[in-house]
């Protein structure tokens, strides 16, 4: 009887501590950033009040937060799904570019199909673009054992330059007679619908959240999800249990690439309405941070993305009020991550000690 009580207490602790870790990290990050704001000559309380107002203070502010969160959610999934299988997809940035390029390519062609089908095809093109970009690193990693981190990282820059090339004449994707490299406008039939009139909140957010729920269910309740988690937790045991580890890794990586592609497609079809060069600006890397904060959990990634999105939306308002560069949002994001990993070690030690105690008992 006594023992059972102890176990419930432990599992409650194990449930609460992963939650409290990011919260503590956020508080610490905001505290350090407050010092930076003060050092930069502004009032931290005033700055944070402006951020809060700019991110959650009105319908327009909420819409802004949503717009910023959408690509982060999908970019986070692109990394987080890999985490579940023990894989590090650092190539979110590149997959975003290629997904966006593929979506733009389909989105500017007037197809003789109904509008909903055009949109569907365009979104799917975004997924396929990401998958294709992941093909080489996925194959090399799954079948040849080549380091995934290095290949996906290197391909990010290739993707950036590739898209830049696509946007310069004589490429068919390049708009003619412009000063800046960009694609022609996405046709209205291929655009993601606006959710709230007068804001730029588009259906990409819904797509992201729905995919998050799907991903959660797949990971938790399907054979595919079970195999994925097993490969992530113990590939040797998975192989022993008859799971095709190589094939599973290959498939999971391709889906990761596709999710990254969707993040890029959403930005082009919902917000920017054109493909620009170097538009991603680090969203792929922020996705990596989010996946780490949420430990790959899709619902956690959504919550984290809303937080990062609110920082970005709020920082714009803060810049208007206090004059401090909106990039401060990046500083707060980075500090949150740094504090989480710095606190994380203590937790791991605590857990291993607990395990040792248990095994001794």
Partner 1 sequence: MDMNSISGWLQASVRLAASLMLVSVGAVYTERVGVINIGMEGMMLAGALASVAASFFTGNIVIAAICAMAVGGLLAILHAYITVSRRASQLISGFAINILALGATNVGYARLFPTERARVATYPVLSPPELRAVPFFGEVIFAQPVIVWIALILPLVSAWVLYRTSWGLNIRAVGEHPHAVASVGLSVYRLKYTGVILSGVFAGLGGSALAMADLGYFAPAMTGGRAFVVLAALIVGKWNPIAVAAACMLFGAADALQLRIQTFGAVIPYQFPLMVPYLLTIAALAGLVGRTAAPKTIGKPYDPEII
Interface residues with partner 1 (CB under 8 A)?
A: 36, 40-41, 88, 90, 136, 140, 144, 146-147, 149-151, 153-155, 157-158, 161-162, 164-165, 168, 282, 285-286, 288-289, 292, 324-325, 327-335, 337-338, 341-342, 344-345
Structure token digits, residue 237: 């045991």
Task: Report, in Å, the least distance between residue 187 CB and partner 1.
Answer: 27
Task: Report, in Å, the least distance between residue 333 CB and partner 1.
Answer: 6
Task: Report, in Å, the least distance between residue 194 CB and partner 1.
Answer: 30
Task: Report, in Å, the least distance between residue 169 CB and partner 1.
Answer: 10
Residue nearer to partner 1 on the CB measure, 56 or 139: 139
Task: Report, in Å, the least distance between residue 76 CB and partner 1.
Answer: 13
**Residues whose CB is less than 8 angstroms from the CB of residue 161 and which lie 6 or more positions away in sequence, other chains included:** none
Tell me if 331 sits within 8 A of 12, measured CB to CB. Answer: no
Residue nearer to partner 1 on the CB measure, 122 or 151: 151
Buried b / exposed e along 196-207 (16+ C-beta atoms within 10 A): eeebebbbbbeb
Task: Report, in Å, the least distance between residue 205 CB and partner 1.
Answer: 23
Residue nearer to partner 1 on the CB measure, 270 or 314: 314
Residue nearer to partner 1 on the CB measure, 228 or 322: 322
The SS3 call for residue 242 is coil
Residue nearer to partner 1 on the CB measure, 155 or 173: 155
Q: How many CB atoms lie within 10 A of CB 136?
A: 13
| Pairwise CA distance, residues 55 & 143, whole Å | 45
Task: Report, in Å, the least distance between residue 174 CB and partner 1.
Answer: 11
Q: How many CB atoms lie within 10 A of CB 296?
A: 24
| Pairwise CA distance, residues 145 & 89, whole Å | 14
Closest to 358 in 3D by CA, of 105, 14, 86, 128: 14
Residue nearer to partner 1 on the CB measure, 162 or 226: 162
The dihedrals phi and psi of 187, each to the nearest 5 degrees, come to: -65, 145
Residue nearer to partner 1 on the CB measure, 241 or 349: 349
Q: How many CB atoms lie within 10 A of CB 290?
A: 28
Structure token digits, residue 279: 């538009």
Task: Report, in Å, the least distance between residue 3 CB and partner 1.
Answer: 28
Structure token digits, residue 349: 């030690």
The SS3 call for residue 186 is coil
Is the Cα torsion angle 167, 169, 171, 174 positive or negative in sign? Answer: positive
Residue nearer to partner 1 on the CB measure, 118 or 317: 317
């Amino acid at each position: 009887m006594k023992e059972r009580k102890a176990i419930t207490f432990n599992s409650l602790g194990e449930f609460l501590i992963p939650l409290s870790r990011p919260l503590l990290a956020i508080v610490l990050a905001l505290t350090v950033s407050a010092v930076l704001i003060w050092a930069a000559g502004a009032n931290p309380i005033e700055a944070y009040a402006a951020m809060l107002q700019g991110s959650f203070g009105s319908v327009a502010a909420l819409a802004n937060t949503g717009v910023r969160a959408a690509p982060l959610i999908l970019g986070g999934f692109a990394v987080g799904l890999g985490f579940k299988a023990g894989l590090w997809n650092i190539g979110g940035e590149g997959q975003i570019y290629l997904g966006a390029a593929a979506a733009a390519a389909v989105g500017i062609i007037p197809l003789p199909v109904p509008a909903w089908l055009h949109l569907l095809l365009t979104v799917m093109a975004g997924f396929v673009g990401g998958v294709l970009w992941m093909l080489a690193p996925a194959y090399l990693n799954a079948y040849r054992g080549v380091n995934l981190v290095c290949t996906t990282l290197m391909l990010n820059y290739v993707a950036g330059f590739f898209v830049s090339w696509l946007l310069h004449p004589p490429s068919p994707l390049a708009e003619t007679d412009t000063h800046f490299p960009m694609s022609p406008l996405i046709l209205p039939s291929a655009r993601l619908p606006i959710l709230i009139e007068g804001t730029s909140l588009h259906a990409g957010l819904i797509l992201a959240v729905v995919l998050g729920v799907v991903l959660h269910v797949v990971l938790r309740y399907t054979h595919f999800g079970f195999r994925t988690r097993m490969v992530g937790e113990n590939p040797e045991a998975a192989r022993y249990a008859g799971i095709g580890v190589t094939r599973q890794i290959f498939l999971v990586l391709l889906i990761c690439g596709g999710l990254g592609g969707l993040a890029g497609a959403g930005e082009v079809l919902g917000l920017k309405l054109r493909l620009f060069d170097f538009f991603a600006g680090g969203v792929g890397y922020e996705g990596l941070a989010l996946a780490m904060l949420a430990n790959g959990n899709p619902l956690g990634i959504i919550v984290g993305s809303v937080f990062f999105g609110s920082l970005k939306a709020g920082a714009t308002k803060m810049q208007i009020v206090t004059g401090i560069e909106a990039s401060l949002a990046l500083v707060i994001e980075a500090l949150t991550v740094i504090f989480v990993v710095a606190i994380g070690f203590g937790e791991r030690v605590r857990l291993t000690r607990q395990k040792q105690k248990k095994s001794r008992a």
